[in-house]
Chains A and B, each alone.
Chain A
Amino acid sequence: MTLTKKAAVMLLVLATAACTDPDRFGGGAGADGAGANGGLGAGVAGSASDPASPLFFNQTIGDRVLFAVDTSTITPEGQTILDAQAQWLLTNADYRAVIEGHADEQGTREYNLALGQRRANAVREYLVSRGVPVGRLQVTSFGKERPIAICSEESCYAQNRRAVTVLSFSAITS
């Protein structure tokens, strides 16, 4: 991706961010981005078929891995996704990421914050073990505060027990 193209992508991202509810994550980022570092959310520009685009990362590779109840163990399916995420991050060295851990609602608030942190950290450790420089990866946790599926059944809980790798374009050297 050329610098101009990247700049164009960034502009579109900013435009997308401006359209979303600014209150949502305090930073006005995309669908599942906490906005900690101006993350590139799901609705970002670029084509899902362009392997260098964030959209390819979010949709084709998959920006998230799921966890079993009260665990932070990366599943075999998760490993496949994270292997591809690591590969993408190594190829696209201008991006960094905030990994956001989440929990389902079946737990107390503060414990779930810690559990989300544990999940996000498990993802970071895995990505680092695949060669991604640790300085490009930050972790945070939203506990049970940001469910994406809102029914009170396992079908929803399973989607909420997740760690999402939220890309941001790296102007900062690390």
Chain B
Amino acid sequence: MMKRILAVLVTLMLAGPVFAQGGPLRITITDGVIEPITFAVPSFEAETPAAQQAAADISRLVVQDLAGTGLFREVPATAFISQVSSFAQPVAFPDWRAINAQALIVGAVTVNGDQLTVKFRLYDVFSGQELGQGLQFAGTVAGWRRMGHKVADAVYSRITGEGGYFDSRVVFVSESGPKDNRQKRLAVMDFDGANVQFLTDSSNIVLAPRFSPNGDRVLYTSFESGFPRINVLNVANVGRQQLQTAPGEMAFSPRFSRDGRQVIYSLSNGGNTDIYRTDLSSGQHVRLTSAPSIETAPSLSPDGTQIVFESDRSGNQQLYIMSANGGEARRISFGQGRYGTPVWSPRGDLVAFTKQNAGRFHIGVMRTDGSEERLLTSSFLDEGPTWSPNGRVIMFSRETQGAGGTSSMYSVDISGRNLKAVPLQGGASDPSWGPLQP
């Protein structure tokens, strides 16, 4: 008991400055160093006996999601002074202030048959107010992770003022086998590496998948015919259709238009690679670039009016922006080295890219006019950035050096902080981050 009181006193002294602030529970994500917001998640209440497991699992997942951003720091349950035994019970704010939990998340889970409901409340401990209102999500017991991600997304969103990214999926290439006999399969996972499902077998090389804007379909490059061709795959029923290309042509690097009805991609013929756009229903295609150089890796701006792409027209890979209908392009990358795989951010303000310089690969971001270039990573081989739905995190592939080299996926904040591997069994590459799920 004495020990506990002492701990509280120490905490109170440490917590002093936070008390003094007394402002609303709000974190503004900037590029600077952020002091994480501390939060407590007492295990969610199980409102039905069958909900016990799900309640424990969901509370843990909410903690994992929030702490995983690097913007929040969990106050562990061992420090709790009071417990929350009921969702309806008034919150004893002094007990949470005493352990310096700035945010408190309480929740309850109900399970009826295979149906699961989770509700939660978010409290700003130091102002003693609820932040936003209680919110409830309904789903299935099997889909409990989605419910946990939804709670975490709502909390993230209320505290940061920005959209979340936890209830989202990533399509990627699952890899196995040595470098000279690499087997590749298309797969999808939750953003955190859970719930992996395979979409193709490994009988053909598959590359660089891209989600449609609403996540219902995936575009990817397949070597089924021995030649790179573009497939459109329906995620729900795994049905697929090939984009028609003329004999002798190689088609790859496909991306959906913002309305999901058209495909922007590269076509190679006679040693020359240019960017085209094809309407998926009519099959009509339009050529958007016509240079004798390699034009590939197109990415549309969020408003769909512009395309950022890479070209070696200057002699090596650089980034360019042109109208979505083609025409004159302006170069935006001017630093040392080569720049490829540009991807426009969901907010429209930044372009993520792969940079190759002095024998190293980097993932970086720059403004759309090429200014404020910032390298976020550095390794033997990093490539292929993709944006989280809220534009705060970038996922990419990292291949390790040497004969035993393997590929894994990593994520990093656009500030360059919080670099971490996506936990998966086996190798993985070419992530494409889908939208927040409805």
Residue positions of A touching B, CB distance < 8 A: 21-27, 34-37, 70, 72, 98, 105-111, 113-115, 117-118, 120-122, 125, 138-143, 145-152
What is the distance, in angstroms, from A38's C-beta to the closest C-beta of chain B? 9
Given contacts A110-B341, A111-B312, 10 further A-B contacts (CB under 8 A): A23-B183, A26-B203, A36-B226, A72-B271, A109-B208, A109-B341, A110-B297, A118-B273, A121-B271, A147-B179
Question: Given A26-B226, A108-B341: A150 and B178 within 8 A (CB)?
Answer: yes
Q: CA of A141 to CA of B205 in the docked complex: distance in angstroms? A: 12
Question: Given A150-B179, A150-B180, A152-B402: A142 and B296 within 8 A (CB)?
Answer: no
Q: CA of A110 to CA of B271 in the docked complex: distance in angstroms? A: 14
Q: Are A109 and B268 in contact, with the CB atoms below 8 A?
A: no
What is the distance, in angstroms, from B386's C-beta to the closest C-beta of chain A? 13
Q: Are B180 and A110 in contact, with the CB atoms below 8 A?
A: no
The stretch among B22-30, B104-112, B124-132, B246-254 that forms the contact with chain A is B246-254
Residue positions of B touching A, CB distance < 8 A: 178-184, 202-205, 207-208, 221, 223-228, 248, 250, 252-253, 266, 268, 270-273, 294, 296-297, 310, 312, 316-317, 340-341, 354, 356, 380-381, 383-384, 399, 401-403, 405, 430
Q: CA of A24 to CA of B252 in the docked complex: distance in angstroms? A: 20
Q: Are B384 and A122 in contact, with the CB atoms below 8 A?
A: no
The 8 Å CB contact of B204, one of A26, A106, A115, A121, is: A26
Q: Are B294 and A111 in contact, with the CB atoms below 8 A?
A: yes
Give the residues in chain A near B182, CB-CB below 8 Å: 145
What is the distance, in angstroms, from A144's C-beta to the closest C-beta of chain B? 10
Q: CA of A25 to CA of B225 in the docked complex: distance in angstroms? A: 10
What is the distance, in angstroms, from A2's C-beta to the closest C-beta of chain B? 29
Q: Are A27 and B273 in contact, with the CB atoms below 8 A?
A: no
The 8 Å CB contact of A108, one of B179, B223, B272, B383, is: B383
Most buried by B among A24, A117, A118: A117
Q: CA of A142 to CA of B181 in the docked complex: distance in angstroms? A: 13
Question: Given A109-B207, A152-B402: A147 and B180 within 8 A (CB)?
Answer: yes
Question: Given A36-B225, A152-B401: A110 and B202 within 8 A (CB)?
Answer: no
The 8 Å CB contact of B226, one of A98, A121, A149, is: A98
Residue of B nearest to A149 (CB): B180
Q: Are A26 and B181 in contact, with the CB atoms below 8 A?
A: no
In the assembled complex, 26 residue pairs joining A and B whose CB atoms fall closer than 8 Å, in A order, are: A25-B226, A26-B223, A72-B271, A105-B399, A107-B356, A108-B317, A109-B208, A110-B297, A111-B296, A113-B221, A113-B228, A113-B250, A113-B252, A114-B294, A115-B294, A118-B294, A125-B271, A138-B227, A140-B226, A142-B205, A145-B207, A147-B179, A147-B180, A150-B179, A150-B180, A152-B403
Most buried by B among A98, A108, A145: A108
What is the distance, in angstroms, from A83's C-beta to the closest C-beta of chain B? 20
Q: CA of A119 to CA of B296 in the docked complex: distance in angstroms? A: 16
Q: Are A110 and B226 in contact, with the CB atoms below 8 A?
A: no
Most buried by A among B184, B226, B270, B401: B226
A-B pairs under 8 A by CB, number: 127
Q: CA of A139 to CA of B228 in the docked complex: distance in angstroms? A: 11
Residue of B nearest to A120 (CB): B271
Give the residues in chain A near B205, CB-CB below 8 Å: 26, 142, 145-146
Residue of A nearest to B222 (CB): A26
What is the distance, in angstroms, from B46's C-beta to the closest C-beta of chain A? 47
Give the residues in chain B near A151, CB-CB below 8 Å: 402-403
Give the residues in chain A near B228, CB-CB below 8 Å: 113, 140-141
Give the residues in chain B near A118, CB-CB below 8 Å: 271-273, 294
Give the residues in chain A near B223, CB-CB below 8 Å: 25-26, 34, 142, 145
Q: Are A110 and B253 in contact, with the CB atoms below 8 A?
A: yes
What is the distance, in angstroms, from B159's C-beta to the closest C-beta of chain A? 36
Q: CA of A110 to CA of B296 in the docked complex: distance in angstroms? A: 7
Residue of B nearest to A152 (CB): B401
What is the distance, in angstroms, from A20's C-beta to the closest C-beta of chain B? 11
Q: CA of A72 to CA of B292 in the docked complex: distance in angstroms? A: 13
Q: CA of A162 to CA of B11 in the docked complex: distance in angstroms? A: 65
Q: CA of A145 to CA of B384 in the docked complex: distance in angstroms? A: 15
Q: Are B226 and A109 in contact, with the CB atoms below 8 A?
A: no
Q: Are B383 and A109 in contact, with the CB atoms below 8 A?
A: yes
Give the residues in chain B near A107, CB-CB below 8 Å: 340, 356
Q: CA of A81 to CA of B227 in the docked complex: distance in angstroms? A: 25
What is the distance, in angstroms, from B260's C-beta to the closest C-beta of chain A? 21
Residue of B nearest to A36 (CB): B226
Give the residues in chain B near A25, CB-CB below 8 Å: 223, 226
Q: Are A146 and B180 in contact, with the CB atoms below 8 A?
A: yes
Give the residues in chain B near A140, CB-CB below 8 Å: 226-228, 250
Q: Are A152 and B226 in contact, with the CB atoms below 8 A?
A: no
What is the distance, in angstroms, from B364's C-beta to the closest C-beta of chain A? 13
Question: Given A151-B402, A152-B402: A114 and B296 within 8 A (CB)?
Answer: yes
Residue of A nearest to B273 (CB): A114
Give the residues in chain A near B296, CB-CB below 8 Å: 110-111, 113-114
Q: CA of A75 to CA of B399 in the docked complex: distance in angstroms? A: 30
What is the distance, in angstroms, from A143's C-beta to the closest C-beta of chain B? 8
Most buried by B among A111, A113, A115, A145: A111
Question: Given A23-B183, A105-B381, A108-B354: A122 and B271 within 8 A (CB)?
Answer: yes
